Amino acid sequence: MPTAVVVLAAGQGTRMNSDLPKVLHSLAGAPLVAHAMRAADAIERERLVVVTGHGGVDVEAAVAEIDDTVLFARQEDQRGTAHAVRAAEAALEGFSGDVIVLYGDTPLIRPETLEAMLAARADGADVVVLGFQAADPTGYGRLVLDLDGSLIAIVEERDATPAEREISLCNSGVIAADCATLFELLGAVRNDNAKGEFYLTDVVSLARGRGLKAAVIACEEAETLGVNSRADLAAAEAAFQARARAEALETGITLSDPGSVWFSLDTVIGRDVEIGPSVVFGPGVTVESGAVIRAFCHLEGCHVSRGATVGPFARLRPGAELAEDTHIGNFVEIKNAVVDAGAKVNHLSYIGDAHVGAATNIGAGTITCNYDGVFKHHTEIGPRVFVGSNTALVAPVTVGADAMIGAGSIVTSDVPSGALAVARARQANKPGLGARLMERLRAAKAAKRAGEAS
């Protein structure tokens, strides 16, 4: 059956104490709302509607950058969760199928959990609620079940009887129902409560009153963690990283110190990759099978091919593309550059806005001088080139295949294929001058100290 997902992302998040809308705070290198969107994509949804409100323009711009097929609905006045879902009704016009309601500030819901909710719908439940067994249920709405395990009602704690407060099965807020049924029930929700708001939780009792069946799917409590404060954000980050590390180990990735490796939401790593301690994967990283990422590396927006070795202490910035069997060594930075198969950049070098040909060796301390203060310029280095240490390649410049560049050169003109380029001043030796200069400096230092002592 077709599925649509509505993500509620209208809240202000006052406890975040921030000018940034809550759902745009970063978790694992992506906005909170992106995590809910990713879960929605994993279940092959037909439509995705994001309901915005506070900071709506900024939220919509950020979401559109992630996925330009998303539909938007605006909740101008925040009048409760049912009111927020109803804002999505126009965006779902003509849709026939199931709707799942997610929250932009609840980033850890797994696609498998949503699949279980959809399976419960297929088994005959008209409304499916996601619940969890809370270690401490204080503050949560309780899920009251019938003897047959069906859901009778969601009771808020302030309205619960003493017996109901003993219930540890709690409401996550996530709900699934047939689209037409959901909006019919939402139309019957009233705001005759202390806050004067329209609550999505009222859908369950309304459904039961109409003879419809409501069911609960339970998940781990950690999945339902909502982010309402900076402390919650830190807890969610820790939970995400713990899950990502466990999944990495299970899929055949070696982590020598799992607790020190940090992943992003979209990190893709193949099997048999070896990752050393204190490695950070920023957004947009793909590492192919068999690569080695050594300790203290930072990667972002890059692609590392099979058999490549990176680090230790290397930085791969956006646009770095490493082909098979490349070697990027200690204190090397690569930015917006392609390094072809078998090339080596092993020590203390910066390669930016460049193409390094296959089997080329870049000596220690080499830099591509790519920026003139206004524009970036390209450096083209052919295959099998040997670049001596402490070379500065002043872009735009091309070094042809099989060329050599002498150490300490400043290359400002193209180097033909097969040529040797030496671009440095001729060395001049002045006999005895070094010793005389040193003696003079030492005498001056001694005189200065004597003057200070007096």
**Average predicted confidence (pLDDT) for the chain:** 95
pLDDT at 78 over 90: no
Every domain of the chain with CATH number 2.160.10.10 lies at: 230-421
Least reliable range by pLDDT among 247-256, 263-272, 414-423, 443-452: 443-452
CB atoms within 10 A of CB 339: 29
pLDDT reported for residue 191: 86
Catalytic annotation on 355? no
Please report, for residues 63, 85, 107, 131, 444, the alpha-carbon distance to residue 3 in angstroms, rounded to integers and kept in the order given: 20, 15, 20, 20, 84
Angle between helices 202-209 and 179-186 (to 10 degrees): 100
38-58 pLDDT, tens per residue? 999 999 899 999 999 989 999
Give yes or no for residue 193 having a pLDDT over 80: no
Distance of CA 429 to the CA centre of its chain: 57
Mean pLDDT, rounded, for 413-433: 94
Identified catalytic residue from 54, 298, 347, 355: 347
Where do you find CATH 3.90.550.10 in the chain? 3-224
Which pLDDT score, from 0 to 100, does residue 441 have?
Answer: 92
Residue 110's pLDDT band, with cuts at 50, 70 and 90, is very high
| Full 3-state SS string of 405-443 | ECCCCEECCCECCCCEECCCCCCCCCCCHHHHHHHHHHH
Beta strand 397-399 with 315-316 is unpaired
> Residue 77 — pLDDT band, cuts 50, 70, 90?
confident
Residue with tokens 């490549």: 308
Kindly report whether the global pTM for this prediction surpasses the value 0.75. yes
Give the pLDDT confidence of 396-406 residue by residue, as tens digits. 999 999 999 99
Tens-place pLDDT, residues 444-453:
999 999 888 8
The DSSP output letter for 278 is S
CATH homologous superfamily of 230-421? Hexapeptide repeat proteins (2.160.10.10)
| Confidence at residue 95, expressed as pLDDT on a 0 to 100 scale | 95
pLDDT in tens, 118-158: 999 999 999 999 999 999 999 899 999 998 889 999 998 88
pLDDT value for 122: 95
| pLDDT tens-place string over residues 300-340 | 999 999 999 999 999 999 999 999 999 999 999 999 999 99
Classify domain 3-224 by CATH number: 3.90.550.10
Contact 122, 202 (CB under 8 A): no
